[in-house]
Amino acid sequence: MASYHLSVKSVQRSAGRSATAAAAYRHAERIACEREGRVHDYRAKAGVEASFILAPEDAPAWAHDRQALWNAAEAKETRVNSVTAREWEVALPAELDAEGRRVLVAGFAAELVARYGVVADVAIHAPHREGDQRNWHAHVLTTTRKLGPEGLAEKTRVLDAQQTRGVEVTAMRERWAAMQNHALERQGHEVRVDHRSLGAQREEALSHGDALRAEALDRPAEVKLGPVVSAIERREAQEAEAEGRTYAPVTERGAQVHEARQARSLLAELARVRAALAREMQERVELARENYAAAREEGADRVRAGLAALRAAAQRHGIGEGPTHGLRPGRDESGERQRRQEREGDSIKDRLARLLERPTDRHAAEEAGVMRDLGPGQGPEDMRERLERILGREAPGPTQAEPGAGDPFTPGIRERLHEVLARAKPVTRQELGRGLTHDEDEHVLRHKDQGWTHGL
Same domain, 141 and 19: yes
Residue 446 inside a domain? The answer is: no
Task: Say how many CA atoms lie within 13 Å of 342 toward its Cβ.
Answer: 9
Same domain, 261 and 295: yes
Would you place residue 337 in the very low, low, confident or very high pLDDT band (cuts 50, 70, 90)? low
Residue where one domain finishes, among candidates 320, 345, 379: 320
Residue 374 CA, distance from chain mean position: 62
- Give the CATH number, domain containing residue 41: 3.30.930.30
Residue 1 inside a domain? The answer is: no
CA distances, 193 to each of 78, 189, 438 (Å): 41, 12, 58
* pLDDT at residue 455, as a whole number: 37
Residue 184 inside a domain? The answer is: yes
Same domain, 172 and 215: no
Residues 38, 208 contacting (CB under 8 angstroms): no
Quick check: 408 pLDDT over 70? no
Same domain, 75 and 188: yes
Residue 425 inside a domain? The answer is: yes
Residue 367 CA, distance from chain mean position: 60
- Compare 240 and 321 and report the one with higher pLDDT: 240
Q: Please, what is the Cα angle at 402 between 396 and 403, to 5 degrees?
A: 95
Task: Say how many CA atoms lie within 13 Å of 405 toward its Cβ.
Answer: 7
* Best CA proximity match to 2, nearest among 90, 88, 122: 90
* pLDDT at residue 33, as a whole number: 96
* pLDDT at residue 199, as a whole number: 78
Q: What is the pLDDT of residues 113-165, one digit of tens each?
A: 999 999 999 999 999 877 678 889 999 999 999 999 999 999 998 988 888 99
Residue 162 inside a domain? The answer is: yes
Quick check: 64 pLDDT over 90? yes
Would you place residue 48 in the very low, low, confident or very high pLDDT band (cuts 50, 70, 90)? very high
DSSP string, 289-337: HHHHHHHHHTT--HHHHHHHHHHHHHGGGT-SSSTTTTPPP-HHHHHHH
Q: What total of structural domains would you count in the chain?
A: 3
SS3 274: helix
Quick check: 305 pLDDT over 70? yes
- Compare 85 and 407 and report the one with higher pLDDT: 85
Same domain, 98 and 232: no
- Compare 72 and 192 and report the one with higher pLDDT: 72
**Percent of residues, the chain, with pLDDT higher than 90:** 37
Same domain, 286 and 397: no
* pLDDT at residue 425, as a whole number: 45
Span between the terminal Cα atoms of the chain, in Å: 40
Quick check: 368 pLDDT over 90? no
Residues 138, 124 contacting (CB under 8 angstroms): yes
Quick check: 102 pLDDT over 80? yes
Q: What is the pLDDT of residues 236-291, one digit of tens each?
A: 888 888 889 988 888 888 888 888 777 777 777 777 787 788 888 888 888 888 88
Residue 325 inside a domain? The answer is: no
The boundaries of the domain holding residue 366 are 330-429
Residue 450 inside a domain? The answer is: no
Q: What is the DSSP letter of 434?
A: S
Residues 50, 11 contacting (CB under 8 angstroms): no
Same domain, 421 and 283: no
Same domain, 238 and 268: yes
Residues 87, 8 contacting (CB under 8 angstroms): yes
Same domain, 187 and 214: no
* pLDDT at residue 274, as a whole number: 77
Beta partners for 152?
147
Same domain, 300 and 353: no
Instruction: Calculate helix-pair angle for 411-423, 380-391, nearest 10 degrees.
Output: 50
Residue where one domain finishes, among candidates 293, 320, 347: 320
Same domain, 124 and 178: yes
Dist CA 138 CA 91 (whole Å) = 6
Same domain, 292 and 160: no
* pLDDT at residue 216, as a whole number: 67
* pLDDT at residue 393, as a whole number: 44
Residue 63 inside a domain? The answer is: yes
Residue where one domain finishes, among candidates 278, 301, 320: 320
